């Protein structure tokens, strides 16, 4: 499977009053990493939404926080797909602090068509084979 890596340096504004990363920041980073994975496979979010009327909303997320991180720390996020279903797929994010696993997160997302009358009209679609093939390629 395709694996992307992103380096994140923790800034002062990422931290809570206890001096550790405020947990919603992790979810912002993981969302950006999923979009980066799709971009690395040749699928840009803007193209999917505006040109094709498609989106990949998150329907479930589970995280384990193993090692705290704080201001100045440098983290590496490894992101890959672990499962494809008909219209859903699972994304795994492994956030490393040096060689140690700091946070592990699994998302479930769904391939959907945006309805013409707004977000209330979402309909799941089969994931195209071209998307599965692109995300299944070996990392370079």
Read off the pLDDT of residues 64-99 as tens digits, 9 standing for 90 and up.
999 999 999 999 999 999 999 999 999 999 999 999
For residue 71, the Cα-to-chain-centroid distance in whole angstroms is 23
Q: Do 77 and 21 touch, CB atoms closer than 8 A?
A: no
Residue span of the structural domain in which 73 resides? 3-136
Average of per-residue pLDDT across 104-130? 84
| Total count of domains within the chain | 1
Report the phi/psi class of residue 111: left, alpha or beta, with left for phi > 0 and alpha for psi in -120 to 50. beta
Q: How many CB atoms lie within 10 A of CB 126?
A: 11
3 state DSSP class of 123: strand
Phi/psi for 110 (5° steps) reads: -125, 135
CATH code for the domain of 18? 3.10.129.10
pTM of the model: 0.90
Average of per-residue pLDDT across 54-73? 94
Average pLDDT, the chain: 91
Tell whether the model's pLDDT for residue 44 goes beyond 90. Answer: no
Rounded CA-CA distance 24/8 in Å is 15
Give the tokens for residue 136: 């299944």
pLDDT, residue 117, reads: 61
pLDDT, residue 60, reads: 96
Among the ranges given (46-55, 59-68, 106-115), the one the predictor scored with the smallest mean pLDDT: 46-55
């Amino acid at each position: 499977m395709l694996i992307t890596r992103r380096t994140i340096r923790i800034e002062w504004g990422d931290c809570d009053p206890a001096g550790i990363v405020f947990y919603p920041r992790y979810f912002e980073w993981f969302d950006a990493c999923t979009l980066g994975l799709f971009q690395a496979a040749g699928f840009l979010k803007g193209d999917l939404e505006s040109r094709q009327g498609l989106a990949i909303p998150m329907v479930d997320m589970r995280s384990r926080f193993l090692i705290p991180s704080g201001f100045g720390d440098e983290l590496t996020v490894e992101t890959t797909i672990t499962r494809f279903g008909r219209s859903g797929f699972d994304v795994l994010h492994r956030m490393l602090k040096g060689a140690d696993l700091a946070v592990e997160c699994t998302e479930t997302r769904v391939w959907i068509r945006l309805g013409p009358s707004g977000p209330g009209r979402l309909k799941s679609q089969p994931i195209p084979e071209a998307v599965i093939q692109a995300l299944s390629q070996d990392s370079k």
